Amino acid sequence: MRSIANVADYRVAARRRLPRFLFDYIDGGALTERTLAANAAELQAIGFRQRVMSGVGAVDLSTAVLGESLALPVILAPIGLGGLTARRGEVQAARAARTAGVPFTLSTVALCSVEEVAREGGTAPWFQLYVTRDRGFMRAMLARAQAAGCRTLVFTVDMSLPGIRYRDRRSGLSGGTRLRRALRLRAQALRRPRWACDVGLLGRPLVLGNLAELLGRGAGVENFWGWMADNFDPTVTWRDLDEVRAHWSGTLIIKGVLEPEDARAAVAAGAQGVVVSNHGGRQLDGADAAITALPAIVEAMGDRAAVLMDGGIRSGADVVRALALGARAVLIGRPWVWALGACGQRGVTHLLDLLAQEMRLTMALTGVASVDGINRSLLSGRR
C-alpha cells in the first residue's frame, strides 16, 4: 500500500485487480454518466477560506448521527455486489468500519447475508432495503435484519426501475441470456487469476446471501439484473412506507432524495433521516449533483430530520465541504469498494485513515477544531 496516496490510487489499483464486469459495475453510471461526473466535479469546485493564526491544534472528528456516536462523520454506503471485490468482502469492510468507529451499511443485494456480516463483522450493520413487488420478501428481510441486531434501516427509494448502464451491457453483466452472461463473466474472471483464486474459488459461495432462498439453489451473480428487473416496483408511493414502519422498530432513513418536497414527504411518512443522493449517478442521468441539491433540503428539514449526503466524496476535504453545506455526515460508496478490491480489509482501514487525515488538515487550515464548528463560513464566496 506504499504506492496508495489517495482515493484515485485505490481506483487504479482496483481496476488492475478486478474482472472487467465487476470494476465497470462499481465504477460506472447511467447513460452518458453526466451526473456521475457532476457529483465529484461540483464538490471539488467549492472553495475554502484559508484562515491563519487561528490557534487550532488538536482536531476532533467525532460526531453523533441519530443517537449513534461516530469517530468521524463518514458511513460506508450500501453497494450491491460489493462483497465480490474481495473474499467475503462485506465482512472485511464491516470489520474495517468497526475498527474505525463508523457504521457499515449492508445492501439487500450483497454477497454476504445480513446474518453473516453481523456474526463475522463484529457488530450489526445498518441495513439497506429496496422497494420490491414482493412485499412478503420485504417483511421477511426486515425481520431478518432486526433478528441479526440491525437498528438502522436505510430505505432506498430512487430505484423503482433499474437505470440504464451501458458499461454493464458491454461487459455482459446485464442483457442477453443467462447462459451468455454466465459465460462472459467467467471468461473475464479468468483474465484476473489472482481474483479468480482468492474470490472466485476460495470466497465461495458466490451467491447473493440475502436472496439465496428466494432465487433458489445455484443462483449466482448472473441472476442479479434479472431479479432486479422483475422485482423492483415502479408503482410505489409514500403510502407504502406505512408497511415498512409497521414492521420496523428502529431508525428509518430514506435514501435517494433530491427535492425538498420529497424530503418533507419522507419525514411525514415517519423517517428520522434522509440521504441526499442520486444513487451515485447510476439512475437518472442529468439529475442534480448531490451537493447541489443538499442546501435546499437542509433548509427544508431544519431540526426535523438528520440530513446525510451521498455522491462524489473523494477526499476528506469533500467531507468538510458537505458538512459546511449542512450534512450531518456523508456516505461513501465507490471509494471503500475500490479500497476493498485493491487491498482487502487493510485497504478500507487505510482509506478511512486517509479521509480522517485529510479532514484534520482541512479543518485546521480553515480554523475549525471540531465537527460542530463546520459551517458555511469555511467556504469561499462562490457559494
Residue 87: per-residue pLDDT: 97
Active site residue 247: no
Q: Is the dihedral of CA 372, 72, 117, 123 positive or negative?
A: negative
Residue 217: per-residue pLDDT: 60
- Count Cβ neighbours within 10 Å for each residue of 323-337 and write b for 16 or more, e otherwise: bbbbbbbbbbbbbbb
Helix (H, G, I), strand (E, B) or coil at 259: coil
Using alpha carbons, select from 174, 199, 154 the residue that is nearest to residue 329.
154
Phi and psi torsions of 278, nearest 5°: -110, 30
Q: Which amino acid is at 180?
A: R
Task: Let me know how many helices (H) and strands (E) the chain has, helices first.
Answer: 16, 10
- Quote the pTM value: 0.95
Euclidean distance between CA atoms 125 and 122, whole angstroms:
9
Residue 383: per-residue pLDDT: 45
C-alpha cell at 170: 458491454
Helix (H, G, I), strand (E, B) or coil at 1: coil
Which is catalytic among the residues 279, 328, 334, 360? 279
C-alpha cell at 146: 432486526
- Count Cβ neighbours within 10 Å for each residue of 111-148 and write b for 16 or more, e otherwise: bbbbbbbbeebeebbbbbbbbbeeeebbeebbebbbeb
Q: Which domains does the chain have, with CATH numbers?
A: 7-373 (3.20.20.70)
Residue 223: per-residue pLDDT: 64
Q: Which residues of the chain register pLDDT less than 50?
A: 383
Q: Which amino acid is at 119?
A: R
DSSP letter for each residue of 189-231:
HHTSHHHIIIIIITT---S-GGGHHHH-TT--GGGHHHHHHHH
Residue 224: per-residue pLDDT: 63
